[in-house]
Chains A and B, each alone.
Chain A
Amino acid sequence: MVNDDNPTDIINQIEQIKNDVFSGKLSLIDLKLSPIFQELKNTLNMVNLIKYSKPFEGACGLLSQKFEELQKLLNALQDDEIFTKFIEKNPSDELIASLLMKSWTKIFYLESMSLKFLNYSNNRYSQERKSIERIEHLQIQDHKGSFLLNVPEHEFTEKMQIYFDQISYLLPCKFEDLFAHERDQIKIYENFVYILHLIQLGIIKYNKEKNLVYQ
């Protein structure tokens, strides 16, 4: 019998049961929990309600664990051919997939937060860089006064005219349509320069509001 206002005994009793279950000495299925609940019921009153909440929580924890163990035992006692029996009923693929998904577990693993990855990163970043950049001086060859840069085959005006002949059949058109089929960035830049010059010379015109190029 416990002191009505002091639940220490019953707390100790519950702790002892927990310890025995944890250490494998006791199985909750073999243990009757009703005496504990009876004791709690007999001693609980309006005055000691708060003090008894902890042992009540502990007893409910044991009860819940007992139910879990009982469920596992019942499952083990049932026919272990349940999967085969289920398949023999010819369930649809969708039904099987939904059942499987209800039991699908996602592993908690974040590579970027793992100690292994942190160690790896630490080793990589703390390594001294072994390769030292070497400065190699350019070899200057004597070209006997000749210019090093290639001289373009055509004059700028000629090239601009060739470009104008190429685009004239497109006009009038949107500004971006002039570059629609060109992928080479250098070429786009070169054509853009021609367009600027053509506009400046008044050969073609550009309407900013309508984004239109015309003659």
Chain B
Amino acid sequence: MVEPLYPRDRSWHPAAHFPDYKSSIYRSPQKPLIKAPPSQNEDSGPVFGHDMLGPLDNDLIRNFAAPGELAIGPRMIVHGRVLDENARPVPGALIEIWQANAGGRYRHAKEGYLAPLDPNFGGCGRMISADDGTYRFMTVQPGPYPWPNGPNSWRPAHIHFSVFGHSFAQRLITQMYFEGDPLIQLCPIVRAISDPMAIDQLTARLDMEATAPMDALAYHFDIILRGRGSTPFENRPEGN
């Protein structure tokens, strides 16, 4: 018998209704969530095989570029592990990322920022975590960008992550920020998370060990999915 997933700690996640983030005002449920009875239905999911991936899927510098061309911007490795709450590796997780280009501009019909498109940058990448939970992307450092929230709102540089573990109930979309970015504390999307340690968990660290000399800086970012167990959920991670 498989043990149930730990309940999601809603106090660790951002508030659904956070008026400083204007889009949440009319898009947040007002009634409490209903606790679903335990069932294997939500707690199961599709299997993603490595055969779905192309050789450049995790290389955003080259996967949209014309032959012989490269995306513009500071070259960067983003890597880490997908773990569960018991600190066990989660292999076979589908990780999909998207980001603005080095100037802070997305390749999207609804994007209106002045910064130029890079003809060699699409902005999407994907990977499946290895047996030890590790994943690795090559990309360029995304730029910060303005957005129509307040009169002068700027997003910190970030990469969006969609993560699909083994269970539909583990489904997660989040964003990765960069250590030392002063815009993190100013951003209402970030500040919808109340616990500074939770925000810290979304902040990638410069990782000189993993840097490719004369090639690319590296940032380390671990992703934690819900884990299984029968004991109550209380402890918090140590700061790092």
- A, B: real partners: no
Question: Which residues of A are interface residues toward B (Cβ below 8 A)?
Answer: none
Question: Which residues of B are interface residues toward A (Cβ below 8 A)?
Answer: none
